[in-house]
């Protein structure tokens, strides 16, 4: 189930994220909760609860802070990217202290970039975050040949992951229309 959830969330985020911001917040919040819970080996029930709570919190915060919606969306999407980068950096046992500092830092920078550049940034950020979720889902598939998309152990695996991440991000950006104006 974890695999299918990550892949579906990643497809929605990667290819439709900047077009539907409320859906983006729910998907990114859910995906963030899911990836972090799985990274810390939580059970399925706990992972689901953490994901639903993360999605709900992200959505409520977005609604309450309507004037800061771009900042909040950028932060949530940035947190997904930060969580994936955290998984890539932290190859051994995950360290909560590093997660608590690193992921919010990436989220905060993304929030400011989203406020400044609005839709063009969100197209790129949602494509990047969605691609991270898709690859994480493929990596959790259970096969040794796809494990490198979850946590690459070698330099070659990291390069393959990086190329796949860039390719999916570019595909997501293309589907979302690049810099064309659309729904905010």
pLDDT tens per residue, range 144-154: 777 778 778 88
Mean of pLDDT values over 41-65: 89
Percent of the chain with pLDDT over 70: 93
pLDDT digits (tens, 9 = 90+) for 168-180: 999 999 998 865 5
Q: How many CA atoms lie within 13 Å of 87's alpha carbon, on the beta-carbon side?
A: 28
Select, from the ranges 2-11, 136-145, 154-163, the one with the highest average predicted confidence (pLDDT): 154-163
What are the start-end ranges of the H helices in 66-154?
69-89, 96-117, 119-139
Question: Each residue of 82-122: pLDDT tens digit?
Answer: 998 888 887 767 788 888 999 999 999 999 999 889 889 98
Q: Is the pLDDT of residue 143 over 90?
A: no
pTM across the whole model? 0.71
Angle (nearest 5°) at CA 10 between 46 and 59: 60
**pLDDT for residue 180:** 54
Is the per-residue pLDDT at 17 higher than 80? no
pLDDT for position 178: 60
The residue-averaged pLDDT of 19-48 equals 87
Is pLDDT larger for residue 74 or for residue 92? 74
- Determine the pLDDT at residue 184: 42
What's the Rg (C-alpha) of the chain?
15
Please, what is the end-to-end C-alpha distance for the chain in angstroms? 32
For residues 166 and 1, which has the higher predicted lDDT (pLDDT)?
A: 166
29, 57 in Cβ contact below 8 A?
yes
Residue closest to 175 by CA, chosen among 16, 9, 2: 16
């Amino acid at each position: 189930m974890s695999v299918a959830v990550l892949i579906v969330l990643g497809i929605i985020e990667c290819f439709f994220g900047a077009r539907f911001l409320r859906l983006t917040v729910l998907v990114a919040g859910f995906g963030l909760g899911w990836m972090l819970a799985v990274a810390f080996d939580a059970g399925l029930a706990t992972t689901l609860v953490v994901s639903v709570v993360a999605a709900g919190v992200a959505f409520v915060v977005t609604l309450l802070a309507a004037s800061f919606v771009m900042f909040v969306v950028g932060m949530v999407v940035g947190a997904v990217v930060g969580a994936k980068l955290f998984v890539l950096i932290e190859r051994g046992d995950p360290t909560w202290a590093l997660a608590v500092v690193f992921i919010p830092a990436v989220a905060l920078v993304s929030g400011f970039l989203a406020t400044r550049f609005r839709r063009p940034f969100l197209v790129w950020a949602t494509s990047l975050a969605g691609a991270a979720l898709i690859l994480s889902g493929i990596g959790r598939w259970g096969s040794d040949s796809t494990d490198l998309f979850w946590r690459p152990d070698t330099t070659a695996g990291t390069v393959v992951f990086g190329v796949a991440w860039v390719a999916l991000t570019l595909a997501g950006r293309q589907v979302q229309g690049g810099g064309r104006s659309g729904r905010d």
